[in-house]
Structure 1
Amino acid sequence: MSDHPQPLAPATEAGDVRRFWERLGLPGLVDVHTHFMPERVLRKVWAYFDGVGALTGGLEWPITYREEEARRISRLREFGVRAFTAMLYPHKPGMARWLNGWAADFAGRTPDCLHTSTLFPEAGVEAYVREALEAGARVFKAHVQVGAYDPADELLDRAWGLLADAGVPVVIHCGSGPAPGKHTGPEPIARVLTRHPRLRLVVAHMGMPEYEDFLDLAERYGEVRLDTTMAFTDFSERLAPFPRRGLPRLADAGDRVLLGSDFPNIPYPYLHQLHALERLDLGEHWLRAVCHDNAARLFGVS
């Protein structure tokens, strides 16, 4: 028996996803954590997940939507995702500006993608972050684990300041899942927020596995949000279960929780993330806010 919910026929899954948000009275979904990047980079990411079992206690991580770019875009549109992102990230100096150029082109030919950019602690980061903002970037991605850098590195300080002043959100993987890094966890990002309390950070994966610590930060800083990416799913509950005692706090933070999926790099159908949120039993108002309204308001999706 498989450890993962089984893939559905494309038409069946699209219909089921649409029925999910139609039942809630929504015009569709807004997904703040989807991955589009240059093909050769994405294929290296897929190769990483193909061998990730050592980090997940032997759990395999099959890529459910290992498809060509045009098909992946079509799938999101068939699901009724009104706006999505091109989360991409460098793992070494000299990559970020190139990735930002690719992402600007992708956003230009994909109007329902929120123009996404990224950054890395390196000489020139302030300049290319400014360039990206002037070019219309609407969201940034930072990946502390893959980049293996301290988010409080002084090289990033002026860039964080630019982003805070611009009010442009940053989706940041700073939790220690699926495996801890030297600079993951709540403490390094807390130091960033001490310097830049208005920075609009969206903590990816609900901060997995340090869920409660990142809820603390969201309660302390009014611009900190959390995305649901992979949280509460059967896969992640095996690895790092969300503590049941945290559900009342999650309900109270419902205006700052945003739908994220990690599409296409997920080991289960897209629909499963939605069902995982629904079975938390936090109510339809919470679900509507998380699956659409919070992100639509943050990004001005009309």
Structure 2
Amino acid sequence: MKVLVTGSTGFVGSRVVGLSEEREWDVVPVVRKVGQIQPNSFVASSIDSVTDWSGAFEGVDCVVHCAARVHQMNETEQDALIAYRDINTLGTLNLAKQAADAGVKRFVFVSSIKVNGEYSEPNLPFEPNLNNTTQDPYGLSKYEAEVELAKLSRETGLEVVVIRPPLVYGPGVKANFLSMMRMIDKGIPLPFGAIKNQRSLVYLDNLSDLILTCCEHPSAPGRTFLVSDDNDVSTTQLMQIIAHAMGKSPRLIPIPMSLIQLGASVLKKQQVAQRVCGSLQVEIGLTKDILGWKPPVTFEQGIKRTVEAYFKSH
């Protein structure tokens, strides 16, 4: 198996490359600049509607498209949507078209659960089929890419597989998950001791394992797969489990969710409260049934490894 991996220096892409090499697959890592060159790499300074992929696909069986434009600060919603579409929609389609023209058999697209929405209703986890179209600019750009890839597949025969992950964590995780670990490590009292939501997360190795499964499984083409650790937790439980892995006692104050939401509304921080208190669950039954797949790493193991990596780097 020979795979081309975009975003090969990123959080997910680098692990996909590493796991592919562990399986002794041939890998073509796509990098953004010459200084990042790895063996057999292909340099693409940008991935947009005009990127020239000539010479990238020689002998490649499958393209794994991890690269994407993610959230940027200080942008209007309209400006963000234009920028997201150029890379996440048009850039993806341009890559897939050139791959199909070069004879690549399969294209695995790492999309996002934001295609389904920001939050799921209690006890109604997201499924691959969509009830509504997201209005989030990032999620919309990913949804439009999924639609265009399906059209391209019908026109060219390129086998397209879509994966929509929720929050991905693991060694080297950044953003909100890293901030949460830092606060727990420092013993900062947090008002999250009575959150009764349900969140799906996916450990980095579990997502990467599913991606590689989709590169070669005969039942994968034409499908959209949701992925998680298959162990949903509340925000309170997540913090308690992280604290336990750190060998610390969590300092969580049991403030009712209604008061947190009220305070956030007064401070005009409703989105922050929704991220803390809202649910986002995914149903992975079809993923397990169709692919015969299950997460190779348990949620507890994933948290333990993430915490160990955090301590090594701090």
TM norm. shorter chain > 0.5 = no
Q: Which has the larger radius of gyration?
A: 2
TM-score range, shorter chain: 0.3 to 0.5
Answer 1 or 2: higher relative contact order, Cα 8 Å, separation at least 6: 1
TM-score when normalising by structure 1? 0.37
